[in-house]
Amino acid sequence: RYGRGRTISKFMRCKRSIRFASFNTRTLRQPHNMGELTEAASKFKIDVICIQEHRMVHDADIVYTTVSEKYTLVTSSATRNKGGAATGGIGLLMSHFTMKCLTEVNKHSERIISASFTGNPATTIICCYSPTNCSKEEDLTSFYKNLSDAMRDIPAHNMILIGGDFNALGTD
């Protein structure tokens, strides 16, 4: 009900809720890690999980991987450090329902990706992984500039959800 006996119009009614989460995985390279994540997402009926530190390295900017009959993983590659170890990497674990609504995925930097979805309202999810407080000032400044640019690229009418690991809050 809305106000004095009036009902909300169909336009305003939510037909299906979306569950959204963010998770720093620390690694998803082993198959059992992905199994645990998809099992938890299924158990709690989560539609989208922003993932940080998956540590999977690949050549393409964005990779789509079907990980179960219910979920698809969309990742931006991790990088290799001086010692050759994989570090970082961000992505989105999405239910197949959510994948049907996906219109595009953009890589804004190695620490920021966004995914846009159809709907009323149209929705954009930004997944990010900030540098730590002990990182160089230039890295922190670059991250927040890239995040600001990514948000500026989103149409004004879109609902924006940001999920991520905000290690550093800046120095201002």
Q: What tens digit of pLDDT does each residue of 24-67 get? A: 888 877 777 888 999 999 999 999 999 998 888 889 989 999 99
Residue 93 confidence (pLDDT) above 60: yes
Q: Which of 93, 78, 82 is nearest to 27 (CA)?
A: 78
82 to 45, 79, 85, 86, 87: CA distances (angstroms) = 39, 10, 8, 10, 10
Is the separation of the CB atoms in 107 and 142 below 8 Å? Answer: no
Report the amino acid identity of residue 129: Y
Q: Which of 101, 102, 73 is nearest to 89 (CA)?
A: 73
**pLDDT tens, 128-148?**
998 888 888 898 899 999 999
Give the C-alpha separation, 64 to 66, whole Å: 7
CA angle 111, 166, 95 (to 5 degrees): 65
Strand order in the sheet with 20-24: 20-24, 48-52, 90-95, 71-76, 62-66
Q: Which residue has the tokens 């991250």?
A: 143
pTM, two decimal places: 0.83
pLDDT at position 56 = 85
Is the separation of the CB atoms in 150 and 108 below 8 Å? Answer: yes
